[in-house]
Amino acid sequence: MQTSSARAAAGTRPAPPATIVFFGGGGDLTKRLLMPALYNLAGSHLLDPRTRFIGVDHVPQSTEQWRASLAATMRSFTRDASGEFHVRKLDPKAWSWVAQRLTYLAADFDDPASYGRIGALLDSTGAGGNVVFYLAVAARFFGPVVDRLGAAGLLRETKGCFRRVVIEKPFGSDLASAQALNQRILKVLAESQVYRADHFLGKETVQNILALRFGNGIYEPIWNRRYVDYVQITAAETIGVEDRGAFYEPTGALRDMVPNHLFQLLTMVAMEPPTTFDAEAVRNEKAKLVSAIAPVALRNVVRGQYRAGRVAGTKVVGYRREPNVARTSRTETYVALKLAIENWRWAGVPFYLRTGKRLGARRTEVAVQFKAAPHRLFRETETAAVMPNMIRLQCDPEHAIQTCFNAKIPGPAMELAPVATTFRYADYFTERPSVGYETLLYDCLRGDPLLFQRADAIEESWAAVQPVLTGWHQSRAAPEPYAAGTPGPVAADRLLARAGHSWLPLAPTPSGRQSA
């Protein structure tokens, strides 16, 4: 366990030497996110010179070919300003540092002999016996790869040397599969060796939610059901499914985003203050919070599927016309839900979550709406002008915190108007290009699981949404269609309107319609 003083020193010294083995070394995750993260860590001098990287995949190629392919992908980022990772030019010194430490091994994940070859290669790296196995592969390989690593003796820790496994989401596809996967991997690994990754938690703005709440005396006293009316959490995307249809068809928006990304934002916003920032103290509070979420009722969920439309002025096809998608698909590309947290802090406060693809704007944010001030004092003022206060924690695309309140309009009458103050990270801090994986890789190497999920929290998250998954399976109802480039299905607006609430607008759409 990392002490609070150890965390304070993090980021100022290199992580311990280790070999990182990337299963799925030729895949999209490794190319587009993990390599840029290593490049950034190398440029920040946070990796030990003895660190080595091994890519394992079924595609036959040499180490030189793998390096060339990764270098080409890295160079492409300099030409795509809209990408998650964009730099004007590559630092040749930082990329060379990573590239010269890359080794590729063509191997079949299902062949036990492959793991003997991995072991032999590890013996030759000279990274001190420390190894991180990063499973950047399809979820169906998680259990088999861990089983075979264990059978080959590659997960056995010796004195002074660690062996860790990073598992990407989705961690299961429902409660039963998540429980089964946890049971399977914990037969081979100790919980302390398992790092369940959700790269949302690696983003600075997400981590800053804890700093905002617990590092400022003005917020925590009002962060509860006495003052908060409701909370909205939004993760809206303008992109479609595109070439991920084979993955997305059996997955859908709820499985892809809600029990992981959105619930991670939820825990940051709603958890109780931990006694320290030690990993287990924080993860204990997160687990308590998730266990307090009442099972979501089917009547409190809306799902939609995008049809053809326009996004940023460009025509796009509907979901059912995307590659590897069934023409009669019932998979949701949008989901909105209302949930309740049954504890002393939040009882009676509705939490509204929404996420979707091909929406009118790209935005990830948390909005905390406070209860309205009594209006009697301002009875001569138009009541609609007395707006409730709100704090908006904006994570993407702009990194900012906005506070909305009422102020007097200059003049002889007592007339109010809503105004806002905004703190933008770029105005105060130098933000380095980041994909969110830098912190996760660095913390895994250091043995700090603070930003990784624990088995109990994973299972409680699936338990909260299991009634919805079961209900959808039994009803076989089709998602409500919505045009690409709009805020989503109309039923999502009605979900909030039942309680007199409304979604924050995403952006004006070609039709002029906005979420109310």
CATH number, domain with residue 431:
3.30.360.10
- The answer as to whether 197 is a domain residue is no
207 and 142, same domain (yes or no):
no
* Nearby residues of 479 by Cβ (< 8 Å), 6 or more positions away: 303, 304, 305, 330, 331, 332, 333, 334, 489
- Look up tokens 């209860």; give the residue: 371
280 and 382, same domain (yes or no):
yes
For residue 261, indicate whether it is catalytic: yes
Q: pLDDT truncated to tens, each residue of the chain (516 aa)?
A: 444 444 444 557 899 999 999 999 999 899 989 999 999 999 999 999 999 999 999 999 999 999 999 999 888 877 766 566 666 788 889 999 999 999 999 999 999 999 999 999 998 876 668 999 999 998 999 999 999 999 999 999 988 899 999 998 889 999 999 999 999 999 999 999 999 998 777 777 788 888 899 999 999 999 999 999 999 999 999 999 988 899 899 999 999 999 999 999 999 999 999 999 899 999 999 999 999 999 999 999 999 999 999 998 999 999 999 999 999 999 999 999 999 999 999 999 999 999 999 999 999 999 999 998 776 566 666 555 567 899 999 988 888 999 999 888 898 877 788 899 999 988 888 767 677 899 999 999 999 999 899 999 999 999 999 999 999 999 888 999 999 999 999 999 999 999 999 999 986 433 333 333
430 and 302, same domain (yes or no):
yes
356 and 284, same domain (yes or no):
yes
CA distances in angstroms from 132 to 161, 165, 353, 372, listed in the order given:
11, 6, 34, 51
Q: CB pairs under 8 A, 24+ apart, for 217-220? A: 219/391, 220/273
> What's the predicted TM-score (pTM) here?
0.90
List 58, 86, 199, 261, catalytic entry: 261
* Nearby residues of 512 by Cβ (< 8 Å), 6 or more positions away: none
DSSP helix/strand/coil, 491? helix
400 and 346, same domain (yes or no):
yes
d(CA 495, CA 138): 34
Which residues sit opposite 311 in a β-bridge? 314
Tell me which residue range forms the domain holding 243: 202-497
- The answer as to whether 176 is a domain residue is no
